[in-house]
Amino acid sequence: MSGGEEVLFSITRAHLDTGMRGFPVGTCPLSDVDPVKGLSYGGYPIAQLAERQPEEVIYLLLNKQLPDAAQLAAFRQELIKNSRLHPEMLEKLSALPRHGHPMKWLMSAIVLMGMYSGTGDYRKDCLQVIAQLPEAVAAIFRIRSGWGELIPSKPELGYMENFAHMLGAPGAGPELIHLLRVFNILHMDHGGGNLSTFVGKAIASGHEDMYGSLAGAMAGLAGPLHGMANQECLRFLKTVAKDIKDPSNETQVAEYVENLLNSGGVLYGFGHAVLRVEDPRATVQYALGEKIAAKDPLFRLAVTLRKVGSEALKKRGKVSDPYPNVDAVSGCLLSACGLADESYYTVLFGLARCVGIAAQIAWERTEARGGKGTPIVRPSYLYTGPEIKA
């Protein structure tokens, strides 16, 4: 049997109601999620990349190899050269209604960026959107939150260092910069089949430009079953802390979890569609939290839940992945480091994930199938309505 005839997956009618979960629909050379090894970028486990500079990891996703010193210096200059937003674009952003969710602002910002800066070249626009998004996201925070005038960009500071500078979050300390660097790297990519990435690539398969495709991808990310999970996990931690007499007491937390599960409740921050081990991104964040937020009450509660939550789920026996995922701890760390409004957390997720989605779109449009690009996505749906009239 030739490679082109190999059977990869047999679809039954029962599979049609599973959201295509686990269906192989394409190839991705940039990142992978292995059930046991976890997330990797370009063959590097995420734990090996988490403390690198974001520019190195962006380069890896765009070029399939880590840069040497000269390549990194040149790449940083390319990011700096492409980093400034058109002034009129920021004026238009300021006119958006303040009550709109921050993710609606992010989608609008990406569309506006395309109107003012788009070239129609997937490779050029990939680099440009990655370079410009930090300023756009910082502007979303400051304008919508009423934090005052926009802070001029200083791209020479570094990719996430400049973002933290432009953000100017009131009351935030140096720990926030460290967290933002790690958070950004951990969330940059996640294989080819997660909802936002798949949606972005599906839109681009119709030859929509980079910006329109990314705006659609961010609509996919915005839902509570995808990118908003980190918000839900922080709210869950706050609820547990409020409902338990002593949240630092492991026995009380364990009793709360047992009662929650016995009543059919959800233990937020646990389980994963692919993984069968603790999410390595969560492992990285637990270790980081001990350095930058060790005394924060919600972080300490998250650490306790890491143990008692897994133990409770394992006892039930039917849970395929009873371990913490990336969202279990990311929200409480952002809160501990000065970003208290969880409605913005998905925007930070989007800032990171746009890197991987843009890189995958650029690859599919310019390199896949020997440079021809992937074909337009066109699945079929089985008709289940009334019999067709004669």
Residue type present at position 234: L
Catalytic residue among 32, 125, 272, 321: 272
What is the predicted pLDDT for the residue at 2? 57
User: Is 229-336 in the same CATH topology as 31-227+344-371?
Assistant: no
The SS3 assignment for 299 reads helix
Selecting among 32, 209, 279, 327, the annotated active-site residue is 327
Indicate which residue of 121, 226, 296, 341 is catalytic. Answer: 226
* Fold of the domain spanning 229-336: Cytochrome p450-Terp; domain 2 (1.10.230)
Q: What is the pLDDT along the chain (390 residues), one digit of tens a residue?
A: 456 788 988 888 888 999 988 889 999 999 999 999 999 999 999 999 999 999 999 999 999 999 999 999 999 999 999 999 999 999 999 999 999 999 999 999 999 999 999 999 999 999 999 999 999 999 999 999 999 999 999 999 999 999 999 999 998 889 999 999 999 999 999 999 999 999 999 999 999 999 999 999 999 999 988 999 999 999 999 999 999 989 889 999 999 999 999 999 999 999 998 999 999 999 999 999 999 999 999 999 999 999 999 999 999 877 889 999 999 999 999 999 999 999 999 999 999 999 999 999 999 999 999 999 999 999 999 999 999 998
Report pLDDT for 281.
Answer: 98
Say if residue 387 is exposed, middle or buried (CB neighbours under 10 Å; 0-12, 13-18, 19+).
exposed
pLDDT of 23 reads 87
Q: Is 68 a catalytic residue?
A: no
Sheet strands (E) in the chain = 31-34, 38-41, 44-45
Give the pTM: 0.96
Asked if 330 and 183 count as a contact pair (C-beta separation under 8 A), the reply is yes
- Per-residue confidence (pLDDT) for residue 386, from 0 to 100: 96
Q: What are the domain boundaries of the chain?
A: 31-227+344-371, 229-336
CA distance 307 to 96: 44
Is 178 tagged catalytic? no
Q: Which is it for the CA torsion 202, 364, 225, 58, positive or negative? A: negative
Structure tokens at 261: 């599960």
Assigned CATH topology for domain 31-227+344-371: Citrate Synthase; domain 1 (1.10.580)
H or E element at residue 323: none
Q: What angle do CA 105, 107, 110 make, to 5 degrees?
A: 105
Q: How far, CA to CA in Å, does 212 sit from each of 16, 101, 125, 192, 200?
A: 29, 19, 11, 18, 9
Active-site residue flag, 279: no
pLDDT at 3: 64
pLDDT at site 21: 87
pLDDT computed for residue 1 by the predictor = 45
